[in-house]
């Protein structure tokens, strides 16, 4: 980033989007966990909405992480843990292809989230195992998967916050 660009952002940052905070659900444990997970899912998806090309797919870190790559990766993670789909090459899940569009990656993510939520809602007891691809070791409980996905999605949402701010100065959820 050039020094002039950095100075301009300091003087004229884009308006901050109002943070709404996590939901105040509490009907039961599943509703609380799912409420927090959906809040984080929305936060990361919203970071990619209207992000300009090619910056949305341009790595913002030496490790090669891009905003679009984070959404693509989380799509694979959702499918793996909640739908029992094999992920294949985890490193490849972080790299969008030139043919993949922001709208397409976001649609895939939202579709995976919708399907995952159906599985979660249908689970009568969080101590039951979550779906896993065939030939894997024993599945963790749905409770463990929900907590893990809150951690995974939250960590990547933080990365997305930084990447989006680097792209155009946009902050907030």
Alpha helices by DSSP H, 29-141 = 29-48, 67-83, 102-122
User: What are the tokens at 115?
Assistant: 């399907």
Task: Please give the mean pLDDT across all residues of the chain.
Answer: 87
Burial classification of residue 81, based on how many CB atoms lie within 10 Å of its CB (0-12 exposed, 13-18 middle, 19 or more buried): buried
**Average pLDDT rounded to a whole number, residues 93-119:** 97
Burial classification of residue 11, based on how many CB atoms lie within 10 Å of its CB (0-12 exposed, 13-18 middle, 19 or more buried): exposed
pLDDT of residue 95: 95
9 found inside a domain: no
User: Which of the pair, 17 or 133, is modelled with greater confidence?
Assistant: 133
17 found inside a domain: no
Closest by Cα among 152, 160, 146 to 116: 146
20 found inside a domain: no
145 found inside a domain: yes
Q: What is the CATH number of the domain that holds 126?
A: 1.20.120.450
Given a cut of 60, is residue 172 above it in pLDDT? yes
In DSSP terms, 129 is beta-bridged to 141
26 found inside a domain: no
pLDDT in tens, 2-25: 433 433 443 344 455 556 666 666
pLDDT of residue 23: 67
- Domain hosting residue 146, numbered range: 32-168
User: Which of the pair, 18 or 168, is modelled with greater confidence?
Assistant: 168
pLDDT of residue 171: 84
142 found inside a domain: yes
2 found inside a domain: no
H-helix or E-strand spanning residue 162: helix 142-168
Number of domains in the chain: 1
């Amino acid at each position: 980033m050039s020094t002039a660009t950095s100075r301009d952002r300091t003087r004229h940052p884009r308006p901050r989007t109002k943070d709404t905070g996590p939901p105040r659900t509490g009907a039961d444990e599943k509703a609380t966990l799912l409420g927090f997970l959906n809040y984080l899912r929305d936060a990361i998806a919203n970071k990619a909405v209207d992000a300009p090309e090619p910056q949305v797919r341009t790595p913002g870190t030496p490790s090669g992480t891009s905003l679009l790559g984070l959404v693509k990766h989380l799509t694979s993670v959702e499918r793996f843990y909640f739908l029992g789909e094999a992920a294949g090459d985890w490193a490849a899940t972080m790299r969008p292809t030139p043919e993949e569009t922001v709208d397409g990656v976001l649609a895939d993510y939202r579709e995976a989230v919708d399907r995952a939520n159906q599985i979660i809602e249908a689970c009568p007891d969080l101590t039951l195992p979550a779906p896993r691809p065939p030939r894997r070791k024993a599945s963790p409980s749905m409770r463990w998967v929900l907590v893990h996905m809150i951690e995974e999605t939250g960590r990547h949402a933080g990365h997305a916050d930084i990447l989006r701010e680097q792209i155009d100065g946009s902050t907030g959820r």
